[in-house]
């Protein structure tokens, strides 16, 4: 089944979670701080700044300052030349001079300065030599060992880095944060197995430290060893019950195996630790991704209470309410988000305008849309909403003309306007006009994937199947991850009952890219039906219909049931769909086909 646009103007695009939320990314929402930032802070705790303050630090601690270098004429000359070279961006010369002075004077501060300058100049060899000297001259310096460790790791010298890592972890005060720093330090290494072995060796001496088990779990996950990762996370949770960071990671690992397992784990954790709001947020995201919108909404509402009305979460709950057609709730949450200072007010104004349209209150809708001022990022989106109202009040042509008058549009905005105009023409069954507008846009505007896709679908409606196929193949070439292009081409072939093996391959590729898309599941069911695989067809179509009771999926599902001899079920499926969508052409033609 092809995913054609269903709205005339200002359609809400579907986001990664399958919700109508184009400008709210669930993965960016946090009550306090996302897990990535928490890990970064743990890293920062271990990574002390490198500077020239050794003498001042020593004085503060009551320690003896390092010996001062002899201020000979040669020393002053080289030092000044090094300073001038550094200011001019000649870091290779500056670092070489500072390193030479450090060796001559056995001064750790100059070695540190040489290491920092060499890093600025991307001179890895000098940086390592200088950091090595720095750590030798000041063996108690955490900064020196950490700098050298990072340089050695970055150049793949694991064995050389190992004693320095052990030195850093020997400090009990910074050991926990050191293990949290470890995975960040090793994250860019290609040999994930070697990283896992190194982390296991470093953690061996600290079996009672939760962070050590967390570090092994992280390295094991990166190395593809899921079972070891889960075992180490379980151990970390035993050592520190209720540790939210470990629970978050355990849910992520389980999600790779099965969303149901991740949901079950998060629910179990929350039953024992009800205030673990980052875990609750992760659970809500998974539920939304599974299109379990009511369950997701319940979790988000709890998060609203816990976060004292986080405006981003208020908007998400508003969108979930809008998805469920719970308009009073949606309106309430959007208005609360505005009152709480949600940054993208214009987007909320547009949502409220769309709610007013659904309530058939066009005057209120226009008031909301008018709040988006000309020149603002969302202005064209708001004008698409205005055009929708004009279309109802004055007719399609007046709406199209209102959009033609919009000034100073970017190419992307012009493409959005053409998309909206073509949609409304298509809904009015003025397919030739829609095709003509999109053809002109393809020839005059940069070919975005969305524009190419719209044009291909318009070509199919006017029976220009060669153009449709050419454009979809072009789209697959320019954006290989565009799952709907594979799906549309595969479905078209299957629906015409031609080149079925190719159709199946194309749709399977679409399914690989978007495994939970109900349109693609419908296409998989339809191509298996064409191939005579009725059981597989029924499985895919039933899954698609359970996700989205779409009339065309109902038509396909009923046809498979009919062919299997389950005629009562087929008739029941068609009648239920016709009662909700009495004018759907595919349903009507399917009923006629079977003399219904």
Q: How many CB atoms lie within 10 A of CB 145?
A: 24
pLDDT of residue 16 exceeding 90: no
pLDDT of res. 532: 95
Give pLDDT tens digits for 552-593. 999 999 999 999 999 999 999 999 999 989 988 888 888 888
What are the CB-based long-range contacts (under 8 Å, 24+) for 67-76? 67/106, 67/107, 69/101, 69/105, 69/107, 69/110, 70/105, 75/101, 75/104, 75/105
Where is average pLDDT lowest: 37-41, 135-139, 176-180? 37-41
pLDDT of residue 38 exceeding 70: no
Confidence bin at 496 (pLDDT 50/70/90): very high
**Which candidate, 299, 292, 262, 323, places its Cα nearest to that of 547?**
292
Confidence bin at 27 (pLDDT 50/70/90): low
Average pLDDT, the chain: 84
What domains are defined for the chain? 26-363 (1.25.40.10)
Sign of the Cα pseudo-torsion (429, 433, 439, 441, in order): negative
End-to-end CA distance of the chain: 23
Where is average pLDDT lowest: 48-57, 446-455, 469-478? 48-57
pLDDT of res. 442: 95
Output the pTM of the full model. 0.66
Confidence bin at 596 (pLDDT 50/70/90): low
Section 190-215 average pLDDT: 89
pLDDT of residue 10 exceeding 50: no
Where is average pLDDT lowest: 96-110, 201-215, 271-285, 497-511? 96-110
Structure tokens at 97: 């001079």
- Percentage of residues of the chain with pLDDT beyond 70: 85
b/e for 14-50, b at 16 or more Cβ within 10 A? ebebbbbbebbebeebbbeebbeebbbebbeebbeeb
Give pLDDT tens digits for 253-264. 999 888 899 999
pLDDT of res. 69: 57
CA dihedral 228, 233, 235, 239 (to 10 degrees): 160
Q: Which residue has the tokens 């200011």?
A: 87
Rounded to an integer, what distance in angstroms lies between the CA atom of residue 284 and that of residue 301?
A: 10
Structure tokens at 107: 């001064």
Give pLDDT tens digits for 283-333. 999 998 887 889 999 999 999 989 888 999 999 999 999 988 899 999 999
**Which candidate, 264, 331, 321, 274, places its Cα nearest to that of 298?**
321
pLDDT of residue 392 exceeding 70: yes
pLDDT of residue 63 exceeding 70: no
Rounded to an integer, what distance in angstroms lies between the CA atom of residue 337 and that of residue 343?
A: 9
Where is average pLDDT lowest: 27-41, 223-237, 441-455? 27-41
What are the CB-based long-range contacts (under 8 Å, 24+) for 171-177? 171/142, 174/45, 174/46, 174/142, 175/206, 175/209, 175/211, 176/209, 176/210, 176/211, 177/42, 177/43, 177/45, 177/46, 177/211
pLDDT of res. 51: 32
- Percentage of residues of the chain with pLDDT beyond 90: 56
Q: How many CB atoms lie within 10 A of CB 409?
A: 15
Sign of the Cα pseudo-torsion (324, 327, 332, 338, in order): positive
CA distances from 533 to 283, 552, 556, 565, 574 (A): 37, 19, 14, 14, 21
The answer to whether residues 548 and 536 touch, using CB atoms and an 8 Å cutoff, is no
Give pLDDT tens digits for 341-354. 999 999 999 999 99
Residues 6+ apart with CB under 8 A from 135: 141, 144, 145, 147, 148, 164
Section 4-17 average pLDDT: 37
Rounded to an integer, what distance in angstroms lies between the CA atom of residue 429 and that of residue 413?
A: 24
pLDDT of res. 4: 55
Question: H-type helices in 498-566, by residue range?
Answer: 500-513, 518-531, 534-547, 551-563
Rounded to an integer, what distance in angstroms lies between the CA atom of residue 81 and that of residue 98?
A: 10
pLDDT of residue 540 exceeding 70: yes
The answer to whether residues 334 and 352 touch, using CB atoms and an 8 Å cutoff, is yes
Gyration radius of the chain's alpha carbons: 31
Residues 6+ apart with CB under 8 A from 266: 247, 251, 279, 280, 282, 283, 286
Section 21-33 average pLDDT: 49
pLDDT of res. 7: 36
Q: How many CB atoms lie within 10 A of CB 92?
A: 16
């Amino acid at each position: 089944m092809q995913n054609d646009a269903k709205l005339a103007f200002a359609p809400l695009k579907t986001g990664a979670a399958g919700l109508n939320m184009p400008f709210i990314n669930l993965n960016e929402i946090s009550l306090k701080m996302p897990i990535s930032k928490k890990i970064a802070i743990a890293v920062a705790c271990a990574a002390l700044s490198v500077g020239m303050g050794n003498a001042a630090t020593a004085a503060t601690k009551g320690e003896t300052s390092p010996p001062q270098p002899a201020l000979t004429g040669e020393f002053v000359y080289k030092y000044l030349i090094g300073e001038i070279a550094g200011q001019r961006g000649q870091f290779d010369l500056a670092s070489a001079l500072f390193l030479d002075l450090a060796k001559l004077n056995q001064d750790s501060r100059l070695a540190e300065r040489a290491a920092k300058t060499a890093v600025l100049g991307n001179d890895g060899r000098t940086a390592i030599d200088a950091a090595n000297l720095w750590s030798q001259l000041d063996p108690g310096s955490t900064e020196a060992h950490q700098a050298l460790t990072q340089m050695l790791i970055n150049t793949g010298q694991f064995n050389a880095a190992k004693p320095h890592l052990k030195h850093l972890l020997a400090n009990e005060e910074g050991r926990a944060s050191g293990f949290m720093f470890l995975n960040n330090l090793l994250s860019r290494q290609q040999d994930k197995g070697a990283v896992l072995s190194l982390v296991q060796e470093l953690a061996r001496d600290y079996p009672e430290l939760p962070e050590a088990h967390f570090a092994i779990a992280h390295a094991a996950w990166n190395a593809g060893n899921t079972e070891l990762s889960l075992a180490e996370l379980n151990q970390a949770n035993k050592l520190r019950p209720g540790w939210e960071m470990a629970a978050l990671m355990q849910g992520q690992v389980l999600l790779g195996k099965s969303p149901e397992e991740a949901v079950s784990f998060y629910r179990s954790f929350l039953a024992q630790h009800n205030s673990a709001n980052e875990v609750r947020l992760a659970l809500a995201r998974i539920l939304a991704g599974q299109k379990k919108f009511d369950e997701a909404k319940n979790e988000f509402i709890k998060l609203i209470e816990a976060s004292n009305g986080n405006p981003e979460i208020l908007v998400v709950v508003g969108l979930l309410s809008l998805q469920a057609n719970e308009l009073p709730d949606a309106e309430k949450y959007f208005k609360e988000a505005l009152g709480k200072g949600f940054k993208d007010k214009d987007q909320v104004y547009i949502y409220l305008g769309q709610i007013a349209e659904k309530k058939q209150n066009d005057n209120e809708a226009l008031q909301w849309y008018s709040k988006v001022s000309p020149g603002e990022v969302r202005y064209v989106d708001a004008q698409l909403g205005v055009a929708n109202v004009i279309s109802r009040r004055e007719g399609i042509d007046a709406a199209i003309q209102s959009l033609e008058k919009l000034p100073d549009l970017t190419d992307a905005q012009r493409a959005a306007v053409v998309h909206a105009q073509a949609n409304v023409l298509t809904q009015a069954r003025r397919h030739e006009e829609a095709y003509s507008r999109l053809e002109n846009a393809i020839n005059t505007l940069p070919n975005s994937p969305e524009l190419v896709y719209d044009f291909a679908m318009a070509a199919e409606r006017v029976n220009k199947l060669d153009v449709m196929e050419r454009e979809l193949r072009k789209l697959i070439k320019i954006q290989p991850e565009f799952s709907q292009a594979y799906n549309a081409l595969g479905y078209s072939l299957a629906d015409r009952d031609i080149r079925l093996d190719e159709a199946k391959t194309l749709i399977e590729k679409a399914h690989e890219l978007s495994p939970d898309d109900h349109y693609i599941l419908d296409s998989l069911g339809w191509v298996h039906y064409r191939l005579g695989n009725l059981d597989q067809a029924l499985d895919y179509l039933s899954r698609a219909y359970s996700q989205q009771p779409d009339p065309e999926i109902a038509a396909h599902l009923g046809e498979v049931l009919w062919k299997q001899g389950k005629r009562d079920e087929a008739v029941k499926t068609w009648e239920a769909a016709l009662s909700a969508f009495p004018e759907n052409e595919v349903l009507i033609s399917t009923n006629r086909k079977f003399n219904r």
